[in-house]
């Protein structure tokens, strides 16, 4: 016990001092590369260097492990690239929203609270905690799309400096909307003209954001009448001004767009990713594929099925959403699912995001989006895993750094007890997560059992109806700390140094 405590202290120190990463070998693992074909390599050993990068990946019998490297026996375990979530919000946990807070008055109340001197430390603690929840669930890179202020920019800088653990963050800051539009006033800067729009973009860029987010149409949670969720809000000229400013700085722009017309206008303005999306036609498909106003000449779709489907599949008595929200959800979800399927069929670039923090979208449930893409949008499990790793990295422009297991890339690793290509549920309970070479021991997210049960039930289909026993085996009740100490990677395992 004292030994365990000692090694834990050693690691706490390693975490708190910014430069130290201890090199290690992860031996005898099965690797899921994350390519589209679902390539699997058996009995491989991964070496991770003190710079936090992958040094070597080779068959175990061809690998000699340097003496000073910690040794982790990965027999029976599967390793894949860490997940990337393109659509997160860190200011909320994903519990059902109090309907009163969705009114303009309620939003103003919340807004003044989190912007107040009293609310600020609370907000900082909340976003740090939520980023850790994502990391513990195997997500090693996130893009936020709508922050309260620049609290996530600050968190990103702390993580990059090694002052606090967390995923790689690309932060948006507040989203950009029209007055009274989607996200305003809680998480948006507003503008009424192209000139003002460009100023709001410039303000975010000056504050150090990595990406921008536009509210091109209304949204579900703050819509006050039926049909408002997808109705166009910001003008094409305003959005164009924002895209021009962003692209001059090499920054991509995401647009919340929940109707065909909203998607068309945002694409015409030059946004790089469409969030949620809607039914596509030939014109829209062609615009996604070849978009001269986008930073890289094309635009991607990020469907976020996790954010809409639960509202339509779980009873209104449980979700607590209003009739207006329910009607808007149905329309939006129908369009979103159709769009995701059409985009996949057409071979467009489809990324993976969940809209964490929204109602019934806990920070730790990224894996569910993959299952939904398979079930509702025609993806194979291999395609879904490819999308959440390599495609997402390419969309963010960080594919030279992460998204794949290759020497020279950041050691962003997700270690699982089973192969996710056989059952995506293997992703729900990682055995170990490594972010930029730093292990997260006992990666046990703080779950909401009631929400998990509702989602399990809502998304249960014939494929999963036999999984009752498996579910029980995965419940938190059986994953006690003792179980983890014995069977999962702990600091003690790492310090064990026994070589197989």
Tell me the window of 188-196, 197-205, 348-356, 460-468 that interacts with Zn ion (CB under 5 A): 348-356
CA distance 492 to 407: 27
Return the ∠ at Cα 172 (arms to 199 and 324), rounded to 5°: 95
Q: Which is nearer to Zn ion, 300 or 431 (CB)?
A: 300
Q: Which is nearer to Zn ion, 362 or 443 (CB)?
A: 362
Q: Taking CB under 5 A as the rule, does residue 355 contact Zn ion?
A: yes
Q: Taking CB under 5 A as the rule, does residue 133 contact Zn ion?
A: no
Least CB distance from residue 216 to Zn ion, whole Å?
A: 12
Q: Which residues lie across from 59 on neighbouring strands?
A: 44
Least CB distance from residue 217 to Zn ion, whole Å?
A: 12
Least CB distance from residue 183 to Zn ion, whole Å?
A: 8
195: Cα separation from own chain's centroid: 32
Using DSSP bridges, classify how beta strands 188-190 and 54-59 pair: parallel, antiparallel or unpaired.
Answer: unpaired
Residue found by looking up tokens 């103003």 in the block: 108
Least CB distance from residue 498 to Zn ion, whole Å?
A: 46
- Please list, in sequence order, all residues whose beta carbon lies within 8 angstroms of the beta carbon of residue 191, skipping any fewer than 6 positions away: 176, 178, 197, 199, 200, 238
Residue nearest to Zn ion (CB): 355
User: 321 near 359, Cβ under 8 Å?
Assistant: yes
Angle between helices 119-136 and 104-114 (to 10 degrees): 100
Length of the chain equals: 500
Residue found by looking up tokens 């996710």 in the block: 420
Q: Which is nearer to Zn ion, 219 or 260 (CB)?
A: 219
What residues from 275 to 304 belong to the interface with Zn ion (CB under 5 A)?
none
Least CB distance from residue 187 to Zn ion, whole Å?
A: 9
**Rounded to the nearest 5°, which phi and psi values hold at 377?**
-120, 5
Least CB distance from residue 358 to Zn ion, whole Å?
A: 6
Least CB distance from residue 357 to Zn ion, whole Å?
A: 8
Task: Tell me the number of residues near Zn ion by CB under 5 A.
Answer: 1
Q: Taking CB under 5 A as the rule, does residue 228 contact Zn ion?
A: no
User: 79 near 383, Cβ under 8 Å?
Assistant: no
Angle between helices 366-377 and 305-313 (to 10 degrees): 80
Q: Which is nearer to Zn ion, 78 or 204 (CB)?
A: 204
Q: Which is nearer to Zn ion, 88 or 391 (CB)?
A: 88
- Binding positions for Zn ion, rule: CB under 5 A: 355
């Amino acid at each position: 016990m004292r030994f365990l405590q000692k090694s834990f202290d050693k690691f706490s120190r390693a975490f708190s001092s910014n430069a130290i990463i201890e090199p290690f070998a992860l031996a005898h693992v099965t690797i899921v590369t994350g390519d589209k074909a679902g390539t699997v390599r058996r009995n491989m050993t991964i070496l991770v260097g003190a710079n936090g990068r992958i040094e070597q990946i080779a068959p175990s019998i061809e690998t000699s492990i340097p003496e000073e490297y910690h040794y982790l026996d990965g027999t029976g375990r599967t390793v894949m690239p860490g997940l990337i979530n393109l659509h997160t919000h860190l200011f909320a946990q994903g519990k059902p929203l109090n309907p009163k807070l969705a009114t303009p008055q309620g939003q103003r109340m919340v807004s003044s609270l989190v912007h107040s001197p009293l609310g600020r430390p609370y907000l900082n603690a909340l976003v740090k905690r939520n980023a850790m929840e994502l990391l513990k669930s195997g997500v090693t890179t996130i893009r936020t799309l709508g922050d309260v202020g620049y609290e996530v920019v600050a968190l990103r800088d702390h993580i990059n400096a090694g002052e606090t653990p967390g995923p790689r963050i690309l932060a948006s800051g507040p989203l950009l909307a029209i007055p009274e539009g989607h996200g305003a006033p809680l998480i948006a800067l507003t503008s009424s003209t192209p000139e003002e729009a460009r100023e709001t973009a410039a303000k975010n860029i000056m504050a150090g954001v990595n990406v921008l987010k536009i509210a091109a149409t209304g949204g579900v949670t703050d819509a006050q009448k039926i049909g408002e969720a997808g109705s166009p809000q910001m003008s094409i000229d305003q959005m164009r001004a924002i895209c021009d400013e962003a692209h001059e700085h090499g920054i991509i722009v995401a647009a919340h767009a929940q109707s065909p017309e909203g998607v068309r206008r945002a694409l015409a303005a030059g946004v790089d990713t469409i969030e949620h999306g809607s039914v596509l036609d030939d014109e829209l498909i062609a615009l996604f594929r070849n978009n001269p106003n986008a930073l890289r000449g094309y635009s991607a779709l990020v469907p976020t099925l996790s954010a809409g489907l639960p509202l339509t599949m779980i009873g209104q008595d449980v979700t607590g959403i209003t009739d207006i929200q329910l009607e808007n959800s149905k329309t939006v979800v129908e369009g979103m699912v159709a769009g995701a399927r059409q985009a996949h069929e057409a071979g467009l670039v489809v990324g993976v995001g969940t809209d964490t923090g929204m109602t019934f979208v806990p920070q730790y449930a990224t894996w569910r989006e993959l299952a939904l893409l398979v079930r509702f949008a025609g993806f194979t499990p291999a395609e879904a895993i490819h999308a959440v790793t390599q495609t997402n990295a390419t969309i963010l422009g960080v594919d030279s750094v992460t998204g794949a297991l290759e020497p020279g890339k950041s050691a962003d690793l997700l270690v699982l007890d089973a192969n996710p290509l056989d059952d995506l549920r293997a992703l729900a309970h990682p055995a170990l997560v490594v972010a930029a070479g730093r292990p997260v021991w006992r990666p046990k997210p703080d779950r909401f059992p009631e929400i998990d049960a509702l989602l399990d039930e809502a998304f249960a289909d014939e494929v999963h109806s036999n999984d009752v026993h498996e579910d029980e085996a995965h419940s938190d009740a059986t994953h006690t700390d003792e179980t983890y100490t014995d069977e999962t990677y702990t600091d003690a395992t790492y310090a064990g140094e026994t070589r197989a």
